[in-house]
Amino acid sequence: MSVKNSGMVNAILGVVVGVLLTLTVGSIFKLGRKVKADYTDWRKLNLILQEVNANYVDTVDVEKVTDAAVVAALASLDPHSIYLPPEDLKQSETDLSGNFEGIGIQFNVPNDTAIVLEVIPGGPSEKVGLMTGDRLLKVNDEVIAGVRFPQDSMVRRMKGPAGTKVNVLVRRDGTDIPFEITRGKIPVHCVDASFMLDGRTGYIKLTKFSRTTYKEVSEAASKLLDKGMKKLVLDLRDNTGGYFDQALLLSDLFLEKGDGIVFLQGLHRKREEYKADGKGPLKDIELQVLINEQSASSSEIFAGAIQDNDRGVIIGRRSFGKGLVQEPVFFTDGSGIRITVARFYTPSGRCIQKPYDKDYDYDLYKRYAGGEMFVKDSVKADSSAVFKTVGGRTVYGGGGIIPDVFVPMDTTRATDFYIACTRKATALRFASAFFDRHRSRLLAIEDFDALVSFLDACDISHEFQAFASSVDGISLKPGEWASTEPYMMPQIRAFISRYSKVGESAFYRFYLPVDEAVKIAMKSPSTVSIE
């Protein structure tokens, strides 16, 4: 074949191949239909889902697709408008309700085995004989010890409707003991601890704003008043918030009649202002409020109200900055949404909500990396959002509550030995081993002073050093314990105290003497000078 003819054949073949490719590719698609879509009434979204349901090649899991569409739609609004499937919604409601249904224990997992820290008085577990220090081996024939069983999965297996039964196998003093427990309603407290720091200063640790917050704080404060309290340190660090009405009620305990607490406003929500009624029994108590970067929502409403009214001193680090109001909507299938309907503003007009953008989830890391956790001058105050308290002090908006007294994270006391022990949870596991050796003595102690006397009589310092070396292979450098001991020993004693009947209250009483924010609160005046 000549070159000329060969070229002609190749050209013809190229055309044929091109036509075949066109036919092949074209055969993948059917001719489309044009459907009118309108964004103003959400018609486009509905049409898409209808088209999928009517024409998709396989059977459509309508529940899965619908939930995915809802999650994606809400995520495009703001970080706190969310969809909650039935199980998540139920858990969320339980966390703030003030009670849950289960067996009534608190436990820790220091070494791949759950250990009972507290058997709630009057609860189902106490009634059948579970005790502090029991190791949880099985739940309904499922092994949960020594197999790296997720802690949240343990909780789910032990919780359940009141009246239902669960079988639990525990190990006590080397003996395996089976228990059949009938679940019941268990009270959940939001006040972790309340006691006197000295002859005139009370301390209350509030962990969340649940349905029982106002009642619990009022009762705790009343007992402290009976003990001579003139000044209160209210600890809201790591308190991520909860019910809005509880923040109002708590603020009302301390403010004068007519003092502003908060106002909220949104595109479809008219401005609503909330003020104190002046009937609170703690109006004359000196007040210091501790906050940090994990204090959010209701915690920020309270701290903002106290600060804007010059009612007390806010101590710590800038709060989280969650000032969006979520309104719940419940569906008949047990699911629900929480949709943002307004923003919170402090009495002076500051918006509590920090800006939300693509880096919202990494904000706390950015604060850490930018030095805000360590240096006061690194705190990002918005100079364009300047406001005044009732006394004329300057405060700033831009998100979160900036404290009156800054307390940096303290990394200077973290020796190499301390860091190594923290990574391996050495102190927690030592506390468990110590309890095993002194079980009967610890369980018999019901008074804090008796607990202190017992621990003082033990050589805990040397025992811990030996445990860290022999069990975890962590050795001390020459002179390192002298730097580590003042910071670590109160924590070890605090962990041990949780195994006594004094419980969580003792934990904080041991730990707080090395807490820098509390030490500053003890020394600080209860009003901020106005310049």
Catalytic sites, residue numbers:
297, 308, 322
Rounded CA gap, 421 and 468, in Å? Answer: 7
Looking at residue 365, its amino acid is: Y
Tokens of 253: 């305990």
Residue whose C-alpha is closest to residue 458's, from 426, 483, 427, 489: 489
Kind of pairing, strands 313-316 and 405-406?
parallel
User: Which positions ≥6 away from 324 have C-beta within 8 Å?
Assistant: 78, 80, 340, 342, 343, 344, 353
Reported as type and span, the H/E element at residue 363 is helix 363-369
Q: How far is it, in rounded angstroms, from Cα 499 to Cα 433?
A: 11
Q: What distance, in Å, lies between the first and last C-alpha atoms of the chain?
A: 102
Buried b / exposed e over 322-359, threshold 16 CB at 10 Å, is bbbbbeeeeeeeebbbbbbbbbbbbbbebbbbbebeee
Rg (CA), the chain: 30
Distance CA 53, CA 48 (A): 9
